[in-house]
Chain A
Amino acid sequence: MTISLHEVVPVPLKEKLLKQVSDIWNRAIVFNASEWIKIKAPSGTGKTTFIHSLYKLRTDYTGEIKWDNRNILTLSAEELAVVRQHKISIVFQDLRLFPHLTAYENIELNRVLQDPYCEKEQILEMAAVLGVTHILQQPASICSYGEQQRIAIIRALVQPFEWLIMDEPFSHLDKTNAAKAANLIADACKKRNAGIIITDLHDDDHFLYSSKLAL
């Protein structure tokens, strides 16, 4: 699936963004299938707005965002659900776990939302790699932010996808854990031949990026 943007400018940031140069805002840009794209930007330049717009969580922008040449504003709720279940997986900056479900249930939910892509055992394997096995049966609300971040990453990896969109996914991980998570993500994406769109404040070499852009 290709994702393309045509002169997209978020309405709330319009005045500010039109004054500065950006690789993304107000440009025509195409993300081809399987590309790994890094988007670097300082705070307040609209990283989360960008991710949410790509995922069709918000629509307060001018211009067009297309999934496979289809303006995403024309998608019905059911069509959107299909894309989110099968084509685009996401790690939110604010994680968005269900606080009352256990860490394990949070992951499992995304696995069974569609015909399961992977086996249950893989949840345990990934949890072991990221060192969160011991908190799997805890309610997500009492896990630390770093633990929640790793749960959110595993949750994103148990579903089928063509694109993995991540909004500062390693913000609360130390270098070692970030590297482990990045390896896990890279393996999962290679296995699916999937693309990555990741935003961060800084430069990094977690992945072999096809391109690096600045917001």
Chain B
Amino acid sequence: MKGLNILLRKLIKTGAGRIRFAMAMIGLSVAMVLILSAVQLQSNYNELLHGSANKDSIANFLVINKILTDQNLKNATLSATEIDDMKAQSFTDAVGILSSSRFKASIQSSSAQFPFYTDIAFESVPDSFLDVNTQEWSWDESSSFVPIIVPGMFLDIYNFQFSLSQGLPQLTREVVKMIFFQVNLYDQNGTPHTMRGRVVGFSDRISSLLVPQSFMDWANNRYGSAGSSAPSRIIIRTKDAGDPGLATYLKEKKLSTDQDKTRFSRYRQVVDLVVKISGVTGLLMLVFAILIFTLFIQLTISSCKDEIKLLLTLGASPKQLLFFLMRQFFPSNLLIIFFSVATVCTLQYLAHLFLQDQEVYIPVYISLPTLLTAFVVLLFIWTVNFINMRKYIKINY
């Protein structure tokens, strides 16, 4: 085979139209990088939405309540049917119920140097909906204090508004977590029951004073009024707060949520647009590159038409010539795919490093779909080349 190939290389010169060949190669490379980038970008975005590494990722938690109107002022609760319906929606991953306290409560300082007192109400939420991960987040009757999660915003208000105007010291999150205070729960007769409490974390997700579910259940049972237990707020986890279906659903059911959370829908639109532009440009370029490549093959074969004809006359099989031609052209295609995959790998690695600093975690390696795409495109180019060559060899037959 080796001897034959050397002779065939002398007869079938692939040197004709080198510039055209180079152009096709460059076009093919750019097209490949664009297509693979588009696929990789989509995978990265999916990873950000669903990946486990991104705990506080753009996977969204939305606190939802009914829009208050004059009609429902006293009864803005969500029924079990409404909650089930919410669960059944495609954009909903999980639904958690925010239970609110049905008793009066207050907190006050246990230190004379730093006096404060305020009436408050608590809420609780299933643990899986929390963005605070602390081992102190548990309570039973033997616990020495009640752990409380406070909205991060509260401390900001204190530090940057209240403390400045009142001449009080500013406090870091760590300092606040060290302060014990008194929690007073009032039973239905108004008798206070005092416990110790401490802030164990700050939530940026739920704007409410949160206590563990176990504490809430216990306290409601013991001190709470027998009033309605229907929740007025629920929290849902969704893959994509920017889902248009979600927005429509909320509007239809007259529900409201934190509008700001939907800002991620902007990101999604941008990612979608970039993926589409990159993908479509890549596909178009691929089509043109393959077209040029096809012309190049046609040119090569027609420029040595006589040789091919005589080879076939002497007994060379069309298959032999086809394999020879494939061997001439295919390695360059393979090289391009390798080059494109390597480029996308490098880009991915750089993006990984860059985004790591921004505390966004995308994988170091390119995704399987990206590799598969490279393989599929390679197969496609191979098939197109194969069909073309067979066709042009047949013409000479």
Contact = CB atoms under 8 A, between A and B. Distances in A.
A199 B320 CA distance: 31
Contacts of B320: 81, 113
B88 interface: no
B11 A81 contact: no
Nearest to B318: A77
A129 interface: no
Interface string B177-214: 00000000000000000000000000000000000000
Contacts of A100: 10-11
A83 B397 CA distance: 16
A77 B397 contact: yes
Contacts of A159: 315
A84 to B, nearest CB: 3
A112 B317 CA distance: 13
Given A77-B318, A100-B10, A101-B11, A109 B313 contact: no
Given A78-B318, A81-B318, A113 B310 contact: no
Given A81-B312, A112-B3, 15 more contacts: A77-B317, A77-B397, A78-B319, A81-B316, A83-B315, A85-B315, A96-B313, A98-B11, A98-B307, A101-B7, A108-B7, A109-B4, A112-B1, A113-B320, A114-B315
Contacts of A109: 4, 7, 314
16 contacts: A77-B312, A81-B312, A81-B315, A81-B318, A81-B319, A82-B317, A84-B315, A85-B315, A100-B10, A105-B10, A108-B7, A109-B7, A109-B314, A112-B3, A113-B314, A113-B320
A57 interface: yes
Interface of A is mostly: helix
Contacts of B313: 57, 84, 96
Given A96-B310, A105-B10, A112 B4 contact: yes
A78 B393 CA distance: 13
Nearest to A114: B315
Interface in A138-161: 159
B376 to A, nearest CB: 29
Given A98-B310, A112-B4, A113-B4, A78 B10 contact: no
A110 interface: yes
Q: Chain A: interface residue count, which band? A: 20 to 34
* Chain B contact surface mostly: helix
A113 B318 CA distance: 12
B4 A78 contact: no
Interface in B275-315: 307, 310, 312-315
**Which of A82, A98, A159 lies at the interface centre, i.e. has the most chain B CB atoms within 10 A of its CB?**
A98
Contacts of B7: 101, 105, 108-109, 112
Nearest to A52: B313
A98 B310 CA distance: 8
Contacts of A110: 314-315
A162 B166 CA distance: 113
A57 B11 CA distance: 21
Interface string A59-86: 0000000000000000001100111110
Contacts of A101: 7, 10-11
Interface in B1-23: 1, 3-4, 7, 10-11
A82 B316 CA distance: 8
Contacts of B315: 81, 83-85, 110, 113-114, 159
Contacts of A105: 7, 10
B7 to A, nearest CB: 5
A2 B397 CA distance: 25
Nearest to B397: A77
A158 to B, nearest CB: 11
Nearest to A111: B3
Contacts of A84: 313-315
Given A96-B310, A101-B7, A113 B397 contact: no
A101 B313 CA distance: 16
A98 B333 CA distance: 30
Contact of A78 (B1, B11, B317): B317
A98 B10 CA distance: 10
Nearest 3 interchain pairs by C-beta: A84-B315, A81-B317, A112-B3
Contacts of A81: 312, 315-320
Interface string A37-58: 0000000000000000000010
Contacts of B10: 100-101, 105
Contacts of A96: 310, 313-314
Interface in A90-116: 96, 98, 100-101, 105, 108-110, 112-114
Contacts of B397: 77
Contacts of B318: 77-78, 81
